[in-house]
Structure 1
């Protein structure tokens, strides 16, 4: 299996191409939202708030929160992608004055605790429910098997020990129960289980994009299901929200679904637009995700996890959502 000594994380080229306690904003699917927030204190302390990256012209790229009472606060901290849990944040951002990127671990007051250079373009970020582990995904170029096109890297960081796993591509992989090696393995979209050691992610090889279950201590990953991308484990650890290529073809877009891990039952969600995002659970009943608009804008929407209801606008001019409590 190929070895890549890169402190980076994965994404894939196709990624480029109370139910909810948060206040949703009324509006049509094709609205022109203006959402400059009120300056205020933004923290990552647990509570009924939604954290996100603003895409509003007035504060584009800044971390912001939406309070349960509908108040939007904006911080001076900027990130390309963000995620937070248990008072710990993970910010993927450009390095100041440079064309390179870095991973920044944030404390509850948005102070940097650790900074690590990233080799690649930031794409996905996750923090375990305990706040003890972080994961990220980046796009990279230069893999010989890929003809110079984008590949991905996915990495993890143990915030208690400082142990860094810069790529999952050196893990021992089994496909359908059999050992598997290939030069074109790519991983992205890590999501942690409650024990912090195990995780789920997407692994691509050939024409397949598998859901894999990983064991960090054993450094192994096994396939669970085909055509699963950007998994997100529910708070009760029973279901995975994900996007899947329509008819197995990413060129046709992606559809959000939920997989019951015990029964294997798949439930298509009410959102019918193509969603190129790693969904986020707001609670065990509700899933949030970003939909992009023209001009570099995006909005965060929410939809029931059981396939019922209709999508509703949760936050205008926002992306990369995570529930803080």
Structure 2
């Protein structure tokens, strides 16, 4: 194994420890180490195992941050809520990831969840959670966190992304430690950032890489410890259930300052299809099914709703889950 990975259950992201100053709070946006004897969350009646349901994080005032499920086809109806609070949540194949607050001073925690949304393991995470994903097998968890303090970045936010295989204990401490092939050539730069992992399987993934003012879709191979660029102006990819397409947010005119457009990329032809959602969506979309993409749309600073839109560019957006974000279709 190279320096970017380890099969030991050890400190995660220690190689990329970064001090974060965010206002008066101190944050080290990093998974700092394994907390061996963390208390488990209270048992939940919510079933997050495979089934015809959608998992989500509530943004309703009375239940803010709580994780729940709704039945597919009745998403605006009765919602079952757990006692678990998360800032970001995702699940697949009966295992979940929850990024949540863990004490004062802007500290956070990565919690590993079972199908009943019970916490089975925790890792201190100090900083600002941004994205979370689980591989189709449920074995590999991926996270993205915000970080400041990189010398090349003038104090602005950067990101760190990593992975944990809970079946083997193998980690990718930071994607920045992997070798990079950009436009067919080996590439190294101090300003490389990664975020928004989406999985093909336990060994292969897609993510966003930024460097030199550009953002790329990259294809990654954990065993080879490498990534390669595939296309420019692709952020927060989400792989379709049939693995043939990627939903993503595309910066308008190549500039994130101008907003984003939800788009689907066909991986065989690399053809892009803008979706019928014309609002600027700053989220990592998820697939409701093979034909539909779902995503969070903010209403102010705390509230959001989950919307859905056809993946072929037709139709119109529809409200899927009110007062919700961070959706995951649990499937069968």
Fold match (TM-score > 0.5): yes
Contact 1:83/1:89 (<8 A) preserved: yes
- Deviation, 1:99, is 2.5
Contact 1:200/1:212 (<8 A) preserved: yes
Paired position in structure 2 for 1:114: 121
Secondary structure, aligned partner of 2:257: helix
1:248 aligns with 2:258: no
Contact 2:106/2:126 (<8 A) preserved: no
- Deviation, 1:98, is 5.2
- Deviation, 1:112, is 1.2
Paired position in structure 2 for 1:54: 58
Q: Distance in 2 between matches of 1:255 and 1:285?
A: 18
Paired position in structure 1 for 2:152: 145
Contact 1:7/1:166 (<8 A) preserved: no
Paired position in structure 1 for 2:85: 78
Paired position in structure 2 for 1:13: none
Secondary structure, aligned partner of 1:190: strand
**1:19-74 deviations in whole A, cap 9, x for unaligned?**
xxxxxxxxxxxxxxxxxxxxx83121111111111000000000011123432111
- Deviation, 1:168, is 0.5
Q: Distance in 2 between matches of 1:169 and 1:320?
A: 25
Contact 2:296/2:307 (<8 A) preserved: yes
What stretches of structure 1 move > 6 A for 4+ residues in a row?
A: 1-4
Match of 1:317 among 286, 307, 323: 323
Q: Distance in 1 between matches of 2:311 and 2:329?
A: 15
Question: What runs of 5+ residues in structure 1 fail to find an aligned partner?
Answer: 9-39
Secondary structure, aligned partner of 1:247: helix
Paired position in structure 2 for 1:178: 185
Match of 2:269 among 243, 258, 263: 263
Structure 2 length normalisation: TM-score?
A: 0.85
Match of 1:200 among 201, 206, 227: 206
Match of 1:5 among 9, 15, 26: 15
Secondary structure, aligned partner of 2:62: helix
Contact 1:119/1:140 (<8 A) preserved: no
- Deviation, 1:203, is 0.1
**1:229-249 deviations in whole A, cap 9, x for unaligned?**
000000100000000100001
CA RMSD in angstroms comes to 1.8
Contact 2:52/2:71 (<8 A) preserved: yes
Contact 1:7/1:155 (<8 A) preserved: no
Match of 2:297 among 283, 291, 311: 291
Contact 1:100/1:118 (<8 A) preserved: yes
CA, structure 1 residues 238+90, in 2 after alignment: closer, same or farther (shift >3 Å)? same
**1:145-196 deviations in whole A, cap 9, x for unaligned?**
1122211000001111011212100110011000000000000000000x32
Q: Distance in 2 between matches of 1:95 and 1:119?
A: 8
Q: Distance in 2 between matches of 1:96 and 1:229?
A: 31
Q: Distance in 2 between matches of 1:170 and 1:302?
A: 36
Paired position in structure 2 for 1:217: 223
Q: Distance in 1 between matches of 2:188 and 2:270?
A: 26
**1:204-253 deviations in whole A, cap 9, x for unaligned?**
00110000000001100000000000000001000000001000011110
1:90 aligns with 2:100: no
Secondary structure, aligned partner of 2:84: strand
Question: What runs of 5+ residues in structure 2 fail to find an aligned partner?
Answer: 5-12, 19-43
